[in-house]
């Protein structure tokens, strides 16, 4: 049977890993796919590096658009990244009748609706397993393995850089700045780590998972995004003492009124498996009505783990290369005409529990005033710890855990507490996720 010819756009870390794994496991991959899959052309601005990695038998070019027009190419792998040139290349490949495999979560989260519509018009596939959680097959699980389920929520540690930083802060008592510097030294964080530490990368991935889980369009612009830059070591310590760990979570939750789509640091009970995911590892927890909770764990980045997902997509596309387009798995799991434009709820409508830390004057009546404010707002207190003031000190910390409530009610209560003369400065607020199931 005629081999499948692949054009690779970008042969950096993931591109190099893809080339190496595809070459090393060529026989096994052909046995699975039913025919040989071979990279015949590589496009990269650094043609010298491309030749060093690919050798002399592969066509090397610095013109990526020429690959999208090549009539001999069946599948284009886009590993350039970003929103601009990558979008133009993907749309060009689609317009020229090429199937596309991409690891570009930013591109799909922002422009996925347009890209998938173009692919449907041209009867080609866009596969993107590598866009979320590296080598963990979470897209396939959501789109196919759990397709009998009404997915209720998805919550995940989907950014290895921030998880490494939080692990270092907890294990070694490092400040955020020191933990970030260590992540950069070890290569877990980029020189400019903004997308990671501000939660943007995780929000891209959460947006993709929410679309597949609930059959809704990509709506990255409506996601609530918070990073870990303002997180203080003292809160990690207090959380640990209360039996919790702080993780940056991407959460998509189905509600009657719409969908919650949010990324932020959150307390998770140390008894939960998700709380014990350490270092640069990723994990995604999915709650379905029939199956219950399922957990997917593994390496969320790196050359060969991500290449594993890229090549799995290549095999899938190869198997379905000649199939009737109507019989292929839809891009977002649901048939295109059944994708529903369900609203993403504003963060004020989120329902969750809270960790609150406040600095107060060490005097009688303070707790009573705070408790009264919560009672007025209909917010139930789950646990409370008041630290003893040090010798000669007139202030102390109060830490409260609340039961689940609507965020706008918590905001109103916090505003009233901050207005008390006995409360010094701002209240530190972190969300607390129960993640019932595992």
- Model-level pTM? 0.96
User: How is residue 137 written in tokens?
Assistant: 């097959």
C-alpha 437/C-alpha 126 separation (Å) is 33
Same domain, 295 and 328: no
Whether 438 has a pLDDT exceeding 60, the answer reads no
Q: How far is CA 359 from the centre of its chain?
A: 34
Same domain, 151 and 253: yes
Helix or strand or coil: residue 141?
A: helix
Same domain, 263 and 294: yes
Whether 18 has a pLDDT exceeding 60, the answer reads yes
- Per-residue pLDDT at 323: 76
- Per-residue pLDDT at 322: 74
**Mean of pLDDT values over 124-135:** 96
What CATH number is attached to the domain comprising 195? 3.30.360.10
Same domain, 216 and 228: yes
The predicted-structure confidence for 193-219, as pLDDT tens digits, reads as follows 999 999 999 999 999 999 999 999 999
**Mean of pLDDT values over 134-150:** 97
Q: Which domain holds residue 102?
A: 4-135+303-338
- Per-residue pLDDT at 315: 97
343 domain-assigned: no
DSSP 350-362: -EEEEEEEEEEES
Partners of 99 in the β-ladder:
75
* Residue of 87, 140, 205, 247 marked catalytic: 205
The predicted-structure confidence for 259-308, as pLDDT tens digits, reads as follows 999 999 999 999 999 999 999 999 999 999 999 999 999 999 999 999 99
The predicted-structure confidence for 48-95, as pLDDT tens digits, reads as follows 999 999 987 899 999 999 999 999 999 999 999 998 999 999 999 999
Is 159:135 a contact under the CB 8 Å cutoff? no
H helix or E strand, kind and range, residue 248: strand 244-255
152 domain-assigned: yes
Half-sphere exposure of residue 7, counting CA atoms within 13 Å on the CB side? 28
What CATH number is attached to the domain comprising 358? 3.30.70.260
Banded model confidence at residue 321, pLDDT cuts 50, 70, 90 = confident
Beta carbons within 8 Å of 204's beta carbon, 6+ residues apart = 105, 106, 108, 109, 110, 131, 220
Residue of 353, 348, 379, 156 lying closest to 257 (CA atoms): 348
Same domain, 144 and 129: no
How many domains, the chain? 3
195 domain-assigned: yes
Beta carbons within 8 Å of 5's beta carbon, 6+ residues apart = 38, 40, 41, 72, 73, 74, 75
Same domain, 39 and 168: no
Same domain, 68 and 151: no
320 domain-assigned: yes
Same domain, 330 and 376: no
346 domain-assigned: no
- Helix then strand count (H, E) for the chain reads 15, 17
- Per-residue pLDDT at 437: 56
Partners of 258 in the β-ladder:
255
Partners of 385 in the β-ladder:
399
- Per-residue pLDDT at 68: 98
Partners of 251 in the β-ladder:
155, 262
**Mean of pLDDT values over 241-250:** 97
Same domain, 185 and 212: yes
Same domain, 108 and 164: no
Is 224:263 a contact under the CB 8 Å cutoff? yes
Banded model confidence at residue 167, pLDDT cuts 50, 70, 90 = very high
Tokens 């013109």: give the residue: 63
What CATH number is attached to the domain comprising 78? 3.40.50.720
Counting residues of the chain whose pLDDT is more than 90, the rounded percentage is 92
Q: Which long-range contacts (CB under 8 A, 24 or more apart) does 183-188 make?
A: 188/160, 188/161, 188/164, 188/280
Banded model confidence at residue 1, pLDDT cuts 50, 70, 90 = confident
118 domain-assigned: yes
Partners of 264 in the β-ladder:
249
Same domain, 411 and 379: yes
Residue of 308, 329, 322, 112 lying closest to 208 (CA atoms): 112
Residues 307, 310, 313, 318, CA torsion sign: negative
The predicted-structure confidence for 379-399, as pLDDT tens digits, reads as follows 999 999 888 777 777 899 999
344 domain-assigned: no
205 as an active site residue: the answer is: yes
Same domain, 35 and 113: yes
C-alpha 199/C-alpha 348 separation (Å) is 19
In 123-252, where does DSSP find H-type helix? 138-140, 160-172, 176-185, 194-197, 200-214, 233-241
Whether 188 has a pLDDT exceeding 60, the answer reads yes
Would you say how long the chain is, in residues?
438
In 188-250, where does DSSP find H-type helix? 194-197, 200-214, 233-241
């Amino acid at each position: 049977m005629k081999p499948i010819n692949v054009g690779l756009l970008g042969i950096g870390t993931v591109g190099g890993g893809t080339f190496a794994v595809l070459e090393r496991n060529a026989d096994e991959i052909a046995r699975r796919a039913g025919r040989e899959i071979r990279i015949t052309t590589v496009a990269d601005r650094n043609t010298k590096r491309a030749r060093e990695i690919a050798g002399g038998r592969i066509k090397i070019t610095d013109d990526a658009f020429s690959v999208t027009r090549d009539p001999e190419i069946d599948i284009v792998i886009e590993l350039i990244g970003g929103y601009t040139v990558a979008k133009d290349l993907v749309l060009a490949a689609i317009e020229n009748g090429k199937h596309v495999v991409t690891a570009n979560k930013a591109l799909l989260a922002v422009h996925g609706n347009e890209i998938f519509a173009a692919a449907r018009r041209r009867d080609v596939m866009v596969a993107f397993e590598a866009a979320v959680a590296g080598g963990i097959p979470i897209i396939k699980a959501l789109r196919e393995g759990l397709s009998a389920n009404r997915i209720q929520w998805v919550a995940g540690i989907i950014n290895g850089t921030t998880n490494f930083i939080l692990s270092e802060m907890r294990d070694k008592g490092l400040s955020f700045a020191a933990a970030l510097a260590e992540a950069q030294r070890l290569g877990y964080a980029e020189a400019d780590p903004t997308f990671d530490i501000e939660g943007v990368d995780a929000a891209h991935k959460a947006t993709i998972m929410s679309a597949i889980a609930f059959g809704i369009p990509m709506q990255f612009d409506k996601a609530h995004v918070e990073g870990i830059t303002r997180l203080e070591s003292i809160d990690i310590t207090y959380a640990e003492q209360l039996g919790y760990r702080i993780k940056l979570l991407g959460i998509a939750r189905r509600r009657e009124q719409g969908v919650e789509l949010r990324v932020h640091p959150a307390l998770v009970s140390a008894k939960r498996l998700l709380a014990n995911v350490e270092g640069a590892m990723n994990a995604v927890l999915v709650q379905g009505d029939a199956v219950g909770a399922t957990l997917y764990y593994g390496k969320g980045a790196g050359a060969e783990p991500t290449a594993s997902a890229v090549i799995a997509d290549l095999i899938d596309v190869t198997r379905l290369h000649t199939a009737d387009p109507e019989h292929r798995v839809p891009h977002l799991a649901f048939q295109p005409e059944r994708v529903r434009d369900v609203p993403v709820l504003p963060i004020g409508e989120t329902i969750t529990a809270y960790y609150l830390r406040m600095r107060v004057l060490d005097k009688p009546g303070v707790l009573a005033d705070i408790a009264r404010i919560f009672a007025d707002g209909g917010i139930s207190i789950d646990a409370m710890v008041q630290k003893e003031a040090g010798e000669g000190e007139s202030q102390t910390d109060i830490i409260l855990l609340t039961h689940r409530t609507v965020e706008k009610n918590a905001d109103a209560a916090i505003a009233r507490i901050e207005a008390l003369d006995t409360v010094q400065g701002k209240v530190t607020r972190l969300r607390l996720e129960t993640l019932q199931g595992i």
